[in-house]
Chain A
Amino acid sequence: MPVIDLMSGFVAELRRAGLPVSLTENLDAMEAIKVIPIEDRDAFKYALGATLVKNSSHWRVFETIFEVYFSLRGSQYNIVDPSDDQADEFWRDEQDQAQQGQGEGRGAGGGGLEALTPEELANMLMRALMQGDQAMMRALARQSVARFAGMEPGRPVGGTYYLYRTLRNLDLDNMLAKLLEANKQTTQRETTNLEQRLTKDEYESRIEQFKKEVEAEIRRRLVADRGAEAMAKTLRKPLPEDVEFMHASREEMQSLKKALFPLTRKLAAKLARKRRHGRKGPLDFRNTVRHSLSYGGVPAEPKFKYPRPAKPELMVVADISGSVAAFARFTLMLVYAIQSQFSKVRSFVFIDGLDEVTRYFKATEDIQEAIHKVNTEADVVWVDGHSDYGHAFEVFWERYGKDINPKTTVLLLGDARNNYHASQSWVVKEMRKRARRVYWLNPEPRSYWNTGDSIVGEYGGHTDGVYECRNLRQLEGFVEKLV
């Protein structure tokens, strides 16, 4: 296939995955690969990366698509793999050393890795991991996939399924413990905690690397089976800022957390800038006269009264029941990370009972720890631990309603799925009378609102606005508007 067709398919896939690739960038990429020796796969990848991806959080998506598109195309794109011969040879050496006593010697011969029993394979993997032997790990990853994944051509199953099957058979979870145990025996002396910790981290990173090898191998085989276009579609992952809070997997949660920190920094910088560069106010007479002294009484430099918008006070009232907990957690993290932009932040969480959690955030500088405490220690269950917005709001109004003042902005977080309890929406109405603004943030897609037991419409009518906050992008947009 000519390079140009390949490239346009690749770029089209990048765009489908949500990367904003412009026409000029596409042209730059074409220009770049002209000066890159095409057989150098790494250089080729970095050339495409440097011209097409302009945001570091998009790099992983780019990498996946790159693997899919350029892993199996023609000989010139072929992966420089340690050929299986080499691995076999390695294996034979190992075999010689390990089993000479048993007289088996080189009996396996050409069979190589295929001839191993599962136990032997596990042992070899352990040895490779102990020694951090890259080539061996790669060869073993291939072998494990061939053996355990049970891949059948044309079967419409996603890569994760095969990954799960392979890893389950290898029992990697116990591998770490085994490695540590083996390490303890070989060193044969008291190790300090620090050393243990370092060894553990080392093994963890090697196992992680092995997993990646397995994943890559599965992907290669799937692409060979179904073709790049189809594969790219099944592997397409949302960008971190587009991951939905309510359906994020554990891995996605991690990437979300990582994306959150730079986001808060950006947001804080942006907001601070906005505050400083307000529009010009009326002439500040006193200040102008004072400065005129340095010009001999000539008011050469007029001074203005810059408006200083008051920082809002914030009250966050969040539902932390199972379905929306992740959303509440992220919103609280975001709010506390930029709390310098508010004059005061108070937070409350509820399920069917309600508790103020501001103290947890005050007690420590570590937001993660505070969130953890909120989840474990806050007293939020009243009867049965199913969301009851009505009761929670009532309690809120009774205990804290008087603290709402015209400077306060109230944020209500939740999906408003009230399990058919009484709504008590009068509380929201009263809040709005007292507060500067009342907003409702709903992590559900708009189309689900007011279906089933969701009564967001009833509450929403009394607020200044209901916003859909399914992902980080929408949440960021809202917070920016808020300040």
Chain B
Amino acid sequence: MPSARGEGVSLSSLAAMSSDFLSVTQVRDGLKKVNYLADDGIAGVVYLAQRLGKPVLIEGPAGTGKTQLAKSVAELTGARLIRLQCYEGLDESKALYEWNYKKQLLRIQSDKKSDTWSDVHDDIFSDEFLLTRPLLEAISAPDPVVLLIDEVDRVEVETEALLLEVLSEYQVSIPELGTITAKQIPMVFLTSNNTRELSEALKRRCLYLHVDYPDMDREKEIVLAKVPDISVNLADQIARIVRSIRQLDLKKAPSVSETLDWARTLILLGVDHIDAQQAKETLHVLLKYQTDIAKAAKELSVDE
């Protein structure tokens, strides 16, 4: 029922979701529209993920837009983003589902006389008393969703196994209720900073995408797209300096988000042409270790 509150918009995006991506180019253009500049590799894998209905494992250095990709795909497809942030000690009750003990207790106590044992038993293990956590929520959602499992390398190897059933079969088995199968196959993105080797079993179920630092031209475009009011000239200079810095042997190379921060800083300072002095003074936005800053300053100001 169309109403005045712009429900038409969500309906049309629903329609966009139900139709599959038709080509890699379409994905890339679509992502560009939501301000995510994908290269051929990224667009190709997103396209495949949707066509094959497989999860995508995204690896790469920090700050290269891994999480952003999932968000952008959600925006592009008009789907709801469900996010599971991983950490050490994450378990079933935080990732999959949990029984609402307090509510069950209340149910048992509320009318002691009227119910027989089997009534109560059947009743307290029903949907009403189930607390869904991100994975189950993504599976049981009636509307299109994008599931983002962030920093999956943080969980222990044993916990990884929790994900396997969801990722390969798109279903969750709850002993008391039976198996809940997905109504529609959600797009799933897992990100990893590669602090440990993920298990073979997990990798095998996913498409693999390595997102590295962008090349110079793409970085320039990203800067242009993400930083308002920046001149082409400045963006070009920024991209070139960042490329030179990344070639140095640093503890932590500047990420894309740091490049953007730097660009914004320069805009705020009213710079439109970077000289060595300004570069030196603002390097701390780009680099986070004192030794790195010293090294970069030295390399950039001294001629070879």
Contact = CB atoms under 8 A, between A and B. Distances in A.
Interface stretch (B97-105, B110-118, B129-137, B296-304): B296-304
Contacts of A262: 194
A205 B243 CA distance: 10
A460 to B, nearest CB: 31
Nearest to B291: A365
B300 A269 contact: no
B300 A193 contact: yes
A368 interface: yes
A161 B276 CA distance: 42
Nearest to A365: B291
A54 interface: yes
Contacts, number: 109
B51 interface: yes
A194 B196 CA distance: 38
A55 B275 CA distance: 40
A55 B291 CA distance: 30
A270 B88 CA distance: 12
Contact of A201 (B44, B60, B243): B243
Contacts of B243: 201, 205
A54 B210 CA distance: 9
A480 to B, nearest CB: 12
B304 A192 contact: no
B300 A35 contact: no
B304 A200 contact: yes
Contact of A193 (B209, B210, B276): B276
Given A43-B24, A193-B300, A365-B291, A53 B51 contact: no
B268 to A, nearest CB: 21
A43 B210 CA distance: 15
A46 B45 contact: yes
Contacts of B244: 197-198, 201
Contacts of B24: 36, 40, 43
Interface residues of B, number: 52
Interface in B244-290: 244, 247, 249, 251, 274-276, 279, 289
A443 to B, nearest CB: 24
A335 interface: no
B94 interface: no
Interface string B216-255: 1000000000000000000001001101100101010000
A35 B291 contact: no
B279 A194 contact: yes
Contacts of B41: 46, 49
Contacts of A88: none
A121 B156 CA distance: 59
Given A46-B41, A194-B300, A32 B240 contact: no
Sort A-B residue pairs by CB-CB distance and give the 3 closest, nearest first. A46-B44, A56-B210, A194-B276
Interface residues of A, number: 43
A214 B40 CA distance: 23
The listed residue with most A CB atoms (<10 A of its CB), out of B88, B209, B244, B274, is B244
Contacts of A202: 240
Contacts of A46: 40-41, 44-45
Contact of A266 (B195, B237, B299, B301): B195
A300 to B, nearest CB: 17
Interface stretch (A20-28, A94-102, A285-293): A20-28
A208 B199 CA distance: 36
Contacts of B54: 28
A4 to B, nearest CB: 18
A366 interface: yes
Given A198-B241, A201-B247, A269-B195, A32 B48 contact: yes
B4 interface: no
Contacts of A81: none
24 contacts: A24-B204, A42-B40, A47-B48, A49-B41, A49-B208, A50-B44, A50-B48, A50-B207, A50-B209, A56-B59, A56-B212, A194-B274, A194-B279, A196-B303, A196-B304, A197-B299, A197-B303, A197-B304, A200-B304, A201-B240, A205-B243, A266-B195, A269-B196, A273-B156
